[in-house]
């Protein structure tokens, strides 16, 4: 698998970190993991094949993770890059996904689910396997952030990845991410977090230490991280693996 960080930031405007989005490539297809409003242009900037995208995962419906579906689907409907496209686009997320998309659709009058190729909206049941792209198996567990929030586990023949999305501290994530090749965690705050439903470094590092992944990537970094050496701070927790700071444009193969 290859993961391109499209957006390592939050909803707070930042000069070098855009909002949450990752482009995952496997031998069986591509998956956009979260779709920030900046995601469509970030895919173009990174040379990711947005027009051929196979599937999208939406962790929850906050604007910095999901509202890019409107410009993405609008572009796919009208851009010359998708004119010859025939294969379906499958959009996965938690309960209420269809209503979320239809609400944006109604507001803009886009009719964005009416494309010249099939578009499927699939509301995932937690704990039940699903198949987002060819050759890959996934499942999801609820995490404490929004009622529809889900963490994603995806594996193909060679690799495994877990993506927390936004979450408060949640011990079941340790077992969920046990020994995965890449554990992508939100780490919104350095310490003394102001809100319960995000992680700070000590909590993220607890989850890394207890799940023992091959590598861990910290993302969803608020601007307060600008003043901090993330790797140095993380090293104080003696992590069992390499800790990667998500940076827009970073590519990781695993
Ligand atoms: Zn967020
Ligand atoms: Zn959120």
Q: Could you list the beta-strand ranges (E) of 119-172.
A: 119-123, 137-142, 150-155, 160-163
Q: How open is the CA angle 32-120-22, to the nearest 5 degrees?
A: 5
> What is the average per-residue pLDDT within 156-179?
98
pLDDT band, residue 93 (cuts 50/70/90): very high
- Tell how far the Cα of 85 is from the centroid of ligand 1, in angstroms: 31
Q: Which ligand lies nearest the alpha carbon of 197?
A: 2
Q: Could you list the beta-strand ranges (E) of the chain.
A: 2-7, 21-26, 29-35, 55-58, 89-93, 119-123, 137-142, 150-155, 160-163, 182-186, 215-219, 242-245, 251-253
Which two three-digit tokens encode residue 136? 């890959």
Pairwise CA distance, residues 56 & 171, whole Å: 26
Domain 2-253 -> CATH class: alpha beta
> What is the average per-residue pLDDT within 77-100?
97
Which two three-digit tokens encode residue 1? 């698998």
Classify residue 9 as left (phi > 0), alpha (psi -120 to 50) or beta. beta
Domain ranges of the chain: 2-253
Q: Which ligand lies nearest the alpha carbon of 219?
A: 1
Which two three-digit tokens encode residue 10? 């939050």
> What mean pLDDT is reported for the chain?
98
> What is the average per-residue pLDDT within 131-150?
98
Q: Which ligand lies nearest the alpha carbon of 147?
A: 2
- The percent of the chain in helix, strand and coil, each rounded to the nearest 5, is 25, 25, 45
Q: What is the pLDDT of residues 38-62, one digit of tens each?
A: 999 999 999 999 999 999 999 999 9
Q: Which ligand lies nearest the alpha carbon of 188?
A: 1
Counting residues of the chain whose pLDDT is more than 70, the rounded percentage is: 100
- State residue 192's pLDDT score: 96
- State residue 33's pLDDT score: 99
pLDDT band, residue 156 (cuts 50/70/90): very high
Is the Cβ–Cβ distance between 43 and 4 less than 8 Å? no
pTM above 0.95, yes or no: yes
- State residue 229's pLDDT score: 98
- Nearest Cα to 184, choosing from 157, 217, 155, 156? 217
Q: What is the pLDDT of residues 122-134, one digit of tens each?
A: 999 999 999 999 9
pLDDT band, residue 120 (cuts 50/70/90): very high
pLDDT band, residue 211 (cuts 50/70/90): very high
- Tell how far the Cα of 185 is from the centroid of ligand 2, in angstroms: 13
- State residue 43's pLDDT score: 98
Q: Which ligand lies nearest the alpha carbon of 36?
A: 1
Which two three-digit tokens encode residue 223? 């601007």
User: 105: which strand partners?
Assistant: none
Is the Cβ–Cβ distance between 8 and 219 less than 8 Å? yes
- Tell how far the Cα of 47 is from the centroid of ligand 1, in angstroms: 24
Which two three-digit tokens encode residue 150? 């889900």
Q: What is the pLDDT of residues 17-43, one digit of tens each?
A: 999 999 999 999 999 999 999 999 999
How big is the chain by its Cα radius of gyration, in Å? 17
């Amino acid at each position: 698998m290859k993961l391109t960080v499209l957006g390592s930031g939050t909803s707070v405007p930042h000069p070098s970190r855009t909002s949450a989005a990752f482009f995952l490539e496997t031998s069986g297809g591509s998956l956009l993991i979260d779709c920030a409003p900046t995601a469509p242009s970030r895919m173009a900037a990174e040379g990711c094949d947005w027009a051929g995208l196979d599937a999208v995962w939406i962790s929850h419906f906050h604007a910095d993770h999901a509202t890019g579906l409107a410009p993405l689907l609008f572009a796919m409907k009208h851009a010359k890059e998708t004119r010859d496209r025939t294969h379906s686009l499958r959009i996965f997320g938690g309960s209420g996904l269809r209503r979320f998309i239809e609400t944006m659709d109604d507001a803009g009058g886009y009719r964005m689910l009416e494309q010249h190729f099939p578009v499927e909206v699939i509301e995932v049941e937690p704990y039940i396997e699903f198949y987002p792209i060819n050759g890959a198996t996934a499942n999801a567990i609820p995490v404490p952030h929004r009622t529809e929030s889900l963490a994603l586990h995806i594996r193909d023949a060679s690799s495994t990845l877990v993506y927390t999305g936004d979450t408060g501290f949640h011990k079941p994530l340790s077992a969920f991410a046990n020994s995965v090749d890449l554990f992508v965690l939100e780490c919104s705050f350095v310490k003394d977090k102001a809100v319960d439903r995000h992680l700070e470094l000590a909590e993220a590092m607890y989850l890394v230490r207890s799940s023992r992944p091959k590598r861990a990537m910290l993302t969803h970094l608020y601007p307060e991280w600008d003043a901090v050496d993330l790797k140095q701070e993380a090293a104080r927790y003696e992590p069992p693996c390499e800790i990667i700071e998500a940076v827009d444009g970073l590519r990781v193969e695993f």
